[in-house]
Amino acid sequence: MAMWAGRFAKEIDKNVNDFNSSISFDWVMYKEDITGSMAHAAMLGAQGIISPEDSEKIIEGLKTILSDIETGELMIDPAAEDIHMFIEQELTDRIGDAGKRLHTARSRNDQVALDIRMYLKNRSKELKTELMKLIKVIVKLAERHTGTVMPGYTHLQVAQPITFAHHIMTYAWMLERDISRLDDCYKRMDVMPLGSGALAATTYPIDREMVAEALGFAGVTQNSLDGVSDRDFCAELGFVLSLVMTHLSRLSEEIILWCSSEFKFVELDDAFATGSSIMPQKKNPDVAELIRGKTGRVNGNLVTLLTMLKGIPLAYNKDMQEDKQAIFDSIDTVMLVLSAFTPMLDTMTIRKDNMRAAAAKGFINATDCADYLTKRGVPFRDAYKITGQLVRFCVENNLTLETLPLEEYRKLSDVFENDLYDAIDIEACVEQRNVLGGPSSEAVKKQIETFKQKVDI
Ligand code: ARG
């Protein structure tokens, strides 16, 4: 019999009940629901809205429900409408009339708003811990490779030489910004909506601050309609999760490229790669590919959240039940991804020699050759043109700028001297880029220090 049976002459249609029910996915909030109800019951008792005995009974009853769910003694009923109804019904079955008083001065609308905020706050903390682990692995890799020269690319064409440390630190900065976005979003989740009631608050003399304090919220929502209507924090967290995935997907794409026999810049540990069912030679970067693929579903969840919100009038509408699967799936996906990605990166072998050999190709030092002339008075555009001619000569004659004889250089400009070869040495090209934010080993070491201070590791 449904809780609202008084108003209805018939039982709900079985299919409608299943359709309407959210318990298959909102059961994960059982702990937050119970903790929230305990704080509410304590407040009702303290304010004299229910008797201290009933308040006590409710809290004790809820405690036993929580431990019974946790030990597996109490199974969550898949036929219940949602986790809120299930727990309230279970409480009433256990303690009788006192249980029926729990919902005084409360609606499921503010209850669910509370539960999601509490649940997502907890999950955000877990996520931050996992992101920090990944950041530490990246920094460790960078620290080992401040002298590992590799080609830097634009348009995936060899551009200028950098180091692997410089390259990989880029992802540390991206993730650091993601954490700061997560912290920011957390602040907006950390506002307690209970007391908003169904939409127009309540006539009972509730103490909302007391509930907020008991549940560890930094503040209380200031408008009852907003308190039950707001799912901005779901969309915002959904975006942060999408951006995390976008960053991981970009790095995954690079790892996939680097694993190819054309690059061979890295090799995955056997435990983090997969084979082929037919081609015996294969070692596939499935983890990285799956991360790239799962980014689509996390982006899809964000669109689900924004679309769910865009057309609904104030205050609660059942559409809002769709918030949970979307945001829960995004957070579950990112957590799952990190559990595979972080150890994969940690165990990946960097093929320094292949990186260095690739950096010797593609006239990567052409800018430095032009800069050599410019530093000796030739206007940059002229120097650029002369170097372009030199590169073309090398391409036609199968030479590199390092192997091109000085007399060929001097045919185009008598500014060239023997020290040209020092200026276009690949290691020198990296080390000369010794400005703040640059790739030289000294600059990157400073960068890593600044980073570590910023994220406090
Ligand atoms: N299961 C519902 C949800 O997730 C709880 C709120 C129900 N409120 C209501 N007025 N039907 O949104």
Kindly report the CATH number assigned to the domain that includes residue 312: 1.20.200.10
pLDDT digits (tens, 9 = 90+) for 67-81: 999 999 999 999 999
8 Å CB contact between 341 and 134:
yes
d(CA 84, CA 86): 5
**In this predicted structure, what is the pLDDT of residue 9?**
87
Averaged pLDDT for residues 196-209: 98
pLDDT digits (tens, 9 = 90+) for 114-168: 999 999 999 999 999 999 999 999 999 999 999 999 999 999 999 999 999 999 9
Q: Is 108 in the pocket of ligand 1 (CB under 6 A)?
A: yes
DSSP element (H, E) containing 213: helix 208-214
Q: Is 320 in the pocket of ligand 1 (CB under 6 A)?
A: yes
**In this predicted structure, what is the pLDDT of residue 282?**
79
Averaged pLDDT for residues 238-257: 98
Tell whether 382 is covered by a domain: yes
Taking the chain, what is the end-to-end CA distance rounded to the nearest angstrom? Answer: 56
**In this predicted structure, what is the pLDDT of residue 251?**
98
d(CA 326, CA 241): 11
Tell whether 456 is covered by a domain: no
- Could you tell which of 85, 321, 324 is best to mutate to test the pocket of ligand 1, judged by most ligand atoms within 8 Å of the CB? 321
Residue nearest to atom 2 of ligand 1 (CA): 321
Output the CA 341–ligand 1 centroid distance in Å.
Answer: 36
Helix, coil or strand: residue 152: strand
Residue nearest to atom 3 of ligand 1 (CA): 321
The pLDDT > 70 percentage for the chain reads: 100
Q: Which structural domain range is residue 414 located in?
A: 362-431
- pLDDT at position 307 over 90: yes
Q: Is 317 in the pocket of ligand 1 (CB under 6 A)?
A: no
| pTM, to two decimals | 0.94
Residue nearest to atom 10 of ligand 1 (CA): 109
Q: Determine how many CB atoms are found less than 10 A away from the CB of residue 367.
A: 17
- Give the alpha-carbon dihedral of 188, 189, 192, 195, to 10 degrees: 100
pLDDT band at 272 (very low <50, low <70, confident <90, very high): confident
**In this predicted structure, what is the pLDDT of residue 273?**
85
Output the CA 284–ligand 1 centroid distance in Å.
Answer: 45
320 CA: nearest ligand 1 atom: 12
Q: Which residues are catalytic?
A: 155, 276
pLDDT band at 370 (very low <50, low <70, confident <90, very high): very high
Number of domains in the chain: 3
Domain at 368, CATH number:
1.10.40.30
pLDDT digits (tens, 9 = 90+) for 2-32: 777 788 989 999 999 999 999 999 999 999 9
Token code pair at residue 269: 């540990």
Q: Is 196 in the pocket of ligand 1 (CB under 6 A)?
A: no
Can you spell out the DSSP letters for 327-362? HHHHHHHHHHHHHHHHHHHHTPEE-HHHHHHHHTST
pLDDT digits (tens, 9 = 90+) for 82-119: 999 999 999 999 999 999 999 999 999 999 999 999 99
Average pLDDT over the chain reads 96
341 and 196 share one domain = yes
**In this predicted structure, what is the pLDDT of residue 290?**
97
Tell whether 371 is covered by a domain: yes
- Could you tell which of 30, 108, 320, 328 is best to mutate to test the pocket of ligand 1, judged by most ligand atoms within 8 Å of the CB? 108
Q: Is 308 in the pocket of ligand 1 (CB under 6 A)?
A: no
351 and 391 share one domain = no
Helix, coil or strand: residue 432: coil
174 and 256 share one domain = yes
- pLDDT at position 447 over 70: yes
The pLDDT > 90 percentage for the chain reads: 94
35 and 143 share one domain = no
223 and 273 share one domain = yes
339 and 408 share one domain = no
DSSP element (H, E) containing 39: helix 30-46
Residue nearest to atom 12 of ligand 1 (CA): 321
**In this predicted structure, what is the pLDDT of residue 1?**
65
- Could you tell which of 26, 76, 82, 322 is best to mutate to test the pocket of ligand 1, judged by most ligand atoms within 8 Å of the CB? 82
Tell whether 457 is covered by a domain: no
Last residue of a domain, one of 56, 76, 104: 104
d(CA 71, CA 68): 5
